[in-house]
Structure 1
Amino acid sequence: MGLPIETLPNLSLARPGLDRHALRRSEPDLLPRLLAQPTTRVLVVRGDTVPVVAGAGQDGPALALRPPTETDSTALVLYLGQDGEGTAYLAVVEPAAPSGQTASAGSSGSGGEEAGDEGEQWRTLRQIGADLSDRDATLFATALALANWHATHTHCPRCGATTTPDQGGWLRRCDAEGSEHYPRTDVAVIMSVIDDEDRILLARGAGWGTGRFSVLAGFLEPGESLAAAVAREVHEEVGLEVRDVEYLGDQPWPFPNSIMVGFTARATASDLRIQESEIAEARWFTKDEYREILATGQVSASTRLSIARRIIERWLGHDLADVAPA
């Protein structure tokens, strides 16, 4: 069964799964009050991992959420929002496990909520994000993006003084002159380039392993529209001019703090001029050629979590799982 051509179906992380309830962030003593309520659900973030459970009766993995503990207030606490039943969700950010060590599932207050027989395992968003419910995917992606921002914005960019988290973790305030600093999101465009023969252009980035091909992508520059960024990146990386730039969808990508905005565009020619500092190899593929090399393992598919995979599937007309394992 073919996929709809007007959207990117099953795009992970893109569907809203929780009411962020942003107006609550400015409430006085919001975090202490929520930490005092046993109905509050807490997600522990350790480095880039969270505890996940896949117990009996579940369709897939789920975040191992727990009530607040007395020690949570000593860590960085982030307000993530609330669900339709009024349950509030927090993230508690803990230091990453030392290099070479695996965090134990039950340590440091990370006990699971209805953990099931298999217990908990610590997983990254790349590992399990595509299998989580909309609520859990939103919780994980939001908590990870905020934690990454806090880790790199401990000091004021204006005067260099230390900053303190405020408004439920959605703001950092300069301790010296009181200026407010908000989480940043870096915008990146990602695009399929199709020629007049309906071939797709896929490229292998400099430093990527052999056989790892994907669509082109790059960051939006100041003063630039999204469509202009698509045209510029394609021209810089492979020397092509494009037309008919069409928006497909977008996906938060907290690695560390981006959003991927997907497009497709038509190439006006097929001759490539590769930017060797960015691109190791670029090739045009027909649908039959791509299916064949994917099935034989000559090329690896993008992960199910990524918008890149959905963009390729839109061009191909079916799920890549029909050709090769995920």
Structure 2
Amino acid sequence: MPISRWDVAARVWKRLHGPAQWRILWLKHATFMIGVTGAVLDDHDRVLLLKHRFWKDNPWGTPSGYLERGETIEEGFAREVAEETGLAVGDVRIVKINSGFRLRVEVGVVARVASGAEPRVDGVEVEQAQFFPVQELPDDLRKSQRAVIDQALREGRGT
């Protein structure tokens, strides 16, 4: 029985080592940015929201950003919260993944902030930061971010 080109391709693939296989896969497939946004809850289950200077219409929103190369989702979200508010978060858990965007995947998370911690902003990227009771979330909160907050609360209020 003759050897097919797919048999040859499989033999070559199996002889390649991990880094070479990953390089070929990377060249063949789309490369994505991974955005992360999340509900940061305090010990009273209030939600941390930020007034973002560079967002259209300057709405309130959850801490958000993009992962840097080599970061886990949890590390990237914790870094973004620290950069935007000076707060340290823990117990970061994934609650939602949105795909289908052209060059990005968005991950929604829930996290906890240390008891009694208050946010500090530098006034550059974020103008204000404040904890809101769930019943008093601002009207201009983006629908997608309200969905992440709702999902986080359904997941046991982050604990």
- Give the TM-score of the pair, scaled to structure 2: 0.70
Partner of 1:237: 84
Structure 1 residue aligned with 2:49, among 189, 202, 213? 202
Q: Does 1:249 align with 2:89?
A: no
Q: Does 1:314 align with 2:154?
A: no
Query: Structure 2 CA distance, aligned partners of 1:258 and 1:187?
Result: 6
Please state how far the C-alpha of 1:216 moved relative to its aligned partner.
1.0
Segments of 5+ residues of structure 1 without an aligned counterpart are 1-179, 318-326
Query: Structure 2 CA distance, aligned partners of 1:238 and 1:253?
Result: 30
Please state how far the C-alpha of 1:264 moved relative to its aligned partner.
0.4
The 1:280–1:242 alpha-carbon spacing in structure 2 relative to 1, beyond 3 Å, is: same
Please state how far the C-alpha of 1:315 moved relative to its aligned partner.
4.9
Matches within 5 A, 1:65-80: none
The amino acid across from 1:300 in the alignment is D
Segments of 5+ residues of structure 2 without an aligned counterpart are 1-26, 155-159
The aligned length equals: 126
Partner of 1:119: none
Structure 2 residue aligned with 1:226, among 69, 73, 77? 73
Partner of 1:300: 140
- Confirm or deny: 8 A CA contact 1:253 1:260 kept in the other structure: no
Please state how far the C-alpha of 1:277 moved relative to its aligned partner.
2.2
Matches within 5 A, 1:253-264: 254=101, 256-264=102-110
Query: Structure 2 CA distance, aligned partners of 1:195 and 1:219?
Result: 23
Partner of 2:20: none
Deviations 1:62-109 (A, max 9, x none): xxxxxxxxxxxxxxxxxxxxxxxxxxxxxxxxxxxxxxxxxxxxxxxx
RMSD of aligned alpha carbons: 2.0
Query: Structure 1 CA distance, aligned partners of 2:37 and 2:134?
Result: 20
Query: Structure 2 CA distance, aligned partners of 1:196 and 1:182?
Result: 43
Please state how far the C-alpha of 1:253 moved relative to its aligned partner.
5.6
| Bigger Cα Rg | 1
Structure 1 residue aligned with 2:32, among 168, 171, 185? 185
Please state how far the C-alpha of 1:223 moved relative to its aligned partner.
1.8
Query: Structure 2 CA distance, aligned partners of 1:217 and 1:240?
Result: 14
The 1:253–1:192 alpha-carbon spacing in structure 2 relative to 1, beyond 3 Å, is: farther
- Confirm or deny: 8 A CA contact 1:201 1:285 kept in the other structure: yes
Query: Structure 1 CA distance, aligned partners of 2:128 and 2:72?
Result: 27
- Confirm or deny: 8 A CA contact 1:236 1:275 kept in the other structure: no
- Confirm or deny: 8 A CA contact 1:194 1:200 kept in the other structure: yes
Please state how far the C-alpha of 1:258 moved relative to its aligned partner.
0.8
Partner of 1:86: none
The 1:315–1:249 alpha-carbon spacing in structure 2 relative to 1, beyond 3 Å, is: closer
Larger RCO (CA under 8 A, 6+ residues apart): 2
The amino acid across from 1:182 in the alignment is H
More helix by share: 2
The amino acid across from 2:83 in the alignment is E
Q: Does 1:284 align with 2:131?
A: yes
Please state how far the C-alpha of 1:271 moved relative to its aligned partner.
1.1
Percent identical:
30
Query: Structure 1 CA distance, aligned partners of 2:40 and 2:121?
Result: 14
